Structure formats: structure tokens, C-alpha cells
Amino acid sequence: MPTTILTHRGDGKVSPAGRRALGHHLPGLRQGSGHGAKAAATPSPDITAADIVAAALARLAPVAAHRTAAVRPRLARVLEAFAAERLGVHHFASVSGYGHGDLGREVLDRVFARVLQAEAAAVRLQFVSGTHAITAALFGVLRPGDRLLALTGRPYDTLEEVIGLRGTGQGSLAEFGITYDELPLTEDGQVDEAGLEEALAPPTRMVLIQRSCGYSWRPSLPVAAIGRLCERVKALQPDCVCFVDNCYGELVQEQEPTAVGADLIAGSLIKNLGGTIAPTGGYVAGRRELVEMACCRLTAPGIGSEGGTGFELHRLLFQGLFLAPQMVAEALIGADLVAEVFGGLGYPVNPAPGAERSDVIQAVRLGHPDRLMAVCRAFQQMSPVGAYLDPVPAPMPGYASDLVMAGGTFIDGSTSEFSADAPLREPWVLYAQGGTHHGHVALALERALVALASMGEGGAGGASSPRSD
């Protein structure tokens, strides 16, 4: 996509015009109300952060229109599911205690199954997080002596302790006698299709496919590619369970992995499907017997999916699902905007603005911890909650690296409103996600540009030489 302010040569270097802008204009940025594309077309010393962001938005208009148009079919699927299950206000109540025979929960499960194009689903506030839902799926299905094979390289950080790659004495899969192997990604971050047959030579009970990039510099895996992968796995080992970590991927594409051959998927409700208002929770979806096995791990063998109160909160889960297609589309436009703005400044971004996406994550290689901190601080200042807080890198349960997080969201830990975080490790990549309205992302970006510019006037690793790292 052409950039009009800071020309990007496509080889990771910034053209003289871009360098000029970075070296002289950015440090002098004013925070003002710009006039978008008009101002951007002619770089001048008076250019403002608002001008840069508005120009990026203008360039992205066709992409944004495309993302917005995709809301309709996905929302139609949600509405059809509500209608087919005859959703009514009586489903908002919950049975307390055991939660046996809870009509609201049963309808919720069936609605999610329809939306996720799966045979069955279990949507539970008792799932603490996506990690917990994934863990229930793994422990629910795998038995001692089974082999688990990750097909998308090293799984997300929090699964290392679950699998037993890090930490001991916590009852990991390894401690229960489940063996684990992984097929590393190719250098360009793709699934190693050539190595698949050899990797699947030993009997394998389950393959783990991670749809989203997580904290790694790789493209998200399109649902169609997941489908092809599942087909190849089944051809080699028909009884192998294809499990997909679906975190951050829901509703990004027209189909979900369960529509194209995945046997089981899991994810969090305080990401895409919660539409920013689900207070907590997660889901598993897929083949009925596998969903039940995961639920037997969440609750107890014999109880499975039939217990667990909704704490009178079902309305929020239905309402969040209703809002989710729009929220996801806005988050995608926000991700494109982050990519366009930082890419325009010459920072490597992944994926490129307007690229096909299978998750809502936007990675930006900032190349220096000071820049990471400056951008997180700026985003935090533009967060709806906790704008007065200063993000400080800190250890986080489940993660080996300290994390810095700009996440002033209404639901604690949710990444649905625009937020960003990063593990404190080289190459200092910022992962941004969420954004209920892309106007919010635009405001946060303006603040970040000003912060980077002010570093150029004396801060360590200033914005005047971002790409030399």
C-alpha cells in the first residue's frame, strides 16, 4: 500500500523522505487536530501526529470498508443462531448451586455451537481463561502414554507449563505420562508441510494447531490452511484428534476451524467472542464426545457439561456474542491502522496493513525496550480505565518473560478494548490487539507518535533511527 508521508522502500529502510520526516518532523510533532490525507500528502515541518494517523486512515478506507462489510454475514450467523434456539429473556436467568438443567446454559451452548459451526460447544464462566479452556481440552482428551504433537511450532507461552516444557511438580501433561513433540515452523513462519509426514510417523493421539501468532513473529494461520492441515493429518492418522487453539481468531474469517475439519477448538470469552462485556469465561467446541471429555476435566467425570451455574450472567454472554462481529471488525481495522502507521515509519510490522488476517493481533518490531515502554505508556494513557497508571514490566503467572501491558480495559485482563502488550525480550516486539472502535486506536496512535518523537529529542533509542536495530 502506498504511503504518502513517510515513504517506505519495502526493504526495511526508509527513503530519504521518510528519514527526513523521522529526523526532523517527528521530534517536532505537535499534537493537534490534523486534516488527514490533505496534510499528509505534502510533508511539512508542521505535520502533526493527527495528520499522520488521519492520512493512514484515509489510505486504509477500502480495507476498512471490506472489513466492515464482513460484519453482516457473521452477525447474520449469530442472529440465525439466536432465532433457531428461540432465545428469550427467560434464558438470562441461571440455576444456582449445581446448575443442573439450566435452560440458559443449554441454549448458550447450542447458540455458540451454531456460531462456531461445531456439533457441540460448552461455554462456561468457570473457565478462568483461554489457557484454562485449552488445558481442559488437552487433559480431557489425552491419556497416559498418548502423544501430543504441536504442528505450529512452540505453543503459546502459558501452555509451556501445561505441557511440561517449563516448571515441575504442577501436574503437567508430561507428569501424567503424555509425550510431546513439536514440528518447528519454517523460517518464514509457515507450517512445515514437507516435514509433516515424518512428524506423524509415530502414533499420535492429538495434534495441536495454534491459529493466532501468539508472541511470535509469524503469520496467523488462515482457516482454509487449518482445514488442509486437518485433512492431511487425517489421511496419515485417521484417529488423531485435530485440536485448535482458537484464541484471538474467532469471527475474523468467515469460517471457524470446526467448519473445516478441526475436531475440537478452545478459546477465551474475554477476547473476540465476549464482545467486551463477557465478565470472564471460555469455551470449547467441536465433536460432541470431545467437548464432553473436556467438560469432564473442567467439572468431574459424571458431571461433564451438565453442571455449573451461570451466576445470572448469561445475558452478558449472549449480548457479547451479539456485539462480537462488529467488535472484531473494528479491531481488525485498528490492527490495519497500527500496521499502516508504524509500517509507514519504517518499523517492521506483521502482518502488513490490509493483509489477510486470521487473528486480531498486530505485531510491531520496535527493536528497543525504551520504545516498547514509550508506546505502551502512550496507549495506557489513552485507555478508558487506568489512564493514570504507568505500565511497569512485571512477572505474570504462566509466562517465563516479564510482560509489559497497556491494557486499561473494562474487564480486567481482557484485550478487547484497544490494548497492547509485549514480553520483555528481544527483538522487542509489541503485540497490539482489540479496539471496539477504530477511532480509539487512532487516538492512542497519535499519543504514541508524540511519545516516540519526544524520545528522538533526547530519549534513549530515539525515534529518529527506529529501523537500524
Beta carbons of 137 and 284 less than 8 angstroms apart: yes
Q: How far is the CB of 425 from ligand PLP (least distance, A)?
A: 15
Site for ligand PLP (CB under 6 A): which residue of 214, 286, 334, 391? 214
- List own/partner pairs for 88-91 with CB under 8 A and 24 or more apart: 91/314, 91/318
Q: How far is the CB of 382 from ligand PLP (least distance, A)?
A: 21
Q: Which is nearer to ligand PLP, 158 or 358 (CB)?
A: 158
Distance separating alpha carbons of residues 73 and 66, to the nearest angstrom: 12
Q: Which is nearer to ligand PLP, 94 or 212 (CB)?
A: 212
Q: How far is the CB of 221 from ligand PLP (least distance, A)?
A: 10
| 3-class secondary structure, 272 | helix
Q: How far is the CB of 415 from ligand PLP (least distance, A)?
A: 7
Site for ligand PLP (CB under 6 A): which residue of 3, 48, 212, 237? 212
| 245 near ligand PLP, judged by CB under 6 A | yes
| 3-class secondary structure, 121 | strand
Q: Which is nearer to ligand PLP, 199 or 422 (CB)?
A: 422
Distance separating alpha carbons of residues 12 and 2, to the nearest angstrom: 15
Give Rg (Cα) of the chain. 23
Q: Which is nearer to ligand PLP, 237 or 433 (CB)?
A: 433
By CB under 6 A, what part of segment 140-159 binds ligand PLP?
156, 158
Q: Which is nearer to ligand PLP, 177 or 184 (CB)?
A: 184
Distance separating alpha carbons of residues 365 and 369, to the nearest angstrom: 10
Q: Is 2 exposed, middle or buried (0-12, 13-18, 19+ CB in 10 A)?
A: exposed
Closest CA to 208 of 259, 176, 169, 247: 247
Q: How far is the CB of 411 from ligand PLP (least distance, A)?
A: 11
Q: What are phi and psi of 104, to 5 degrees?
A: -60, -45
Q: Which is nearer to ligand PLP, 53 or 225 (CB)?
A: 225
Considering only 57-65, 111-119, 168-176, 208-216, which stretch makes contact with ligand PLP by CB under 6 A? 208-216
- Cell numbers representing residue 212 in the block: 493466532
Q: Which is nearer to ligand PLP, 158 or 380 (CB)?
A: 158
Considering only 3-11, 82-90, 244-252, 320-328, which stretch makes contact with ligand PLP by CB under 6 A? 244-252
Q: Which is nearer to ligand PLP, 212 or 272 (CB)?
A: 212
The amino acid that residue 82 corresponds to is F
Q: How far is the CB of 115 from ligand PLP (least distance, A)?
A: 19
Count of residues making up the chain: 469
Q: Taking CB positions, which residue lies at the least distance from ligand PLP?
A: 130
8-state DSSP, 401: S
- Residue 213: how many other CB atoms lie within 10 Å: 24
Distance separating alpha carbons of residues 318 and 274, to the nearest angstrom: 9
First-residue to last-residue Cα distance in the chain: 24
Distance separating alpha carbons of residues 332 and 68, to the nearest angstrom: 9
Q: What are phi and psi of 223, to 5 degrees?
A: -60, -40
By CB under 6 A, what part of segment 391-430 binds ligand PLP?
none
Q: Which is nearer to ligand PLP, 131 or 350 (CB)?
A: 131
- Cell numbers representing residue 72 in the block: 453482516
Q: How far is the CB of 37 from ligand PLP (least distance, A)?
A: 34
Q: How many chain residues are in contact with ligand PLP, going by CB under 6 A?
A: 12
Q: How far is the CB of 184 from ligand PLP (least distance, A)?
A: 17
- Residue 100: how many other CB atoms lie within 10 Å: 12
Q: Which is nearer to ligand PLP, 60 or 149 (CB)?
A: 149
Site for ligand PLP (CB under 6 A): which residue of 48, 216, 237, 268? 268
Q: Which is nearer to ligand PLP, 136 or 200 (CB)?
A: 136
| 94 near ligand PLP, judged by CB under 6 A | no
- Residue 20: how many other CB atoms lie within 10 Å: 16
What is the separation of C-alpha 230 from the centre of its chain, rounded to a whole number of angstroms?
22
Q: What are phi and psi of 288, to 5 degrees?
A: -55, -45
Strand 147-150, strand 179-182: pairing: parallel
Q: How far is the CB of 51 from ligand PLP (least distance, A)?
A: 33
Half-sphere exposure at residue 106, Cβ-oriented, CA atoms within 13 angstroms? 10
Q: How far is the CB of 357 from ligand PLP (least distance, A)?
A: 14
Q: How far is the CB of 266 from ligand PLP (least distance, A)?
A: 9
Q: How far is the CB of 278 from ligand PLP (least distance, A)?
A: 12
Closest CA to 446 of 378, 356, 349: 378
Site for ligand PLP (CB under 6 A): which residue of 3, 210, 358, 416? 210
| 247 near ligand PLP, judged by CB under 6 A | yes
* Interface mask toward ligand PLP for 121-140; x: CB under 6 A: --------xxx---------
Q: Under the rule (CB under 6 A), what is the footprint of ligand PLP?
A: 129-131, 156, 158, 210, 212, 214, 245, 247-248, 268
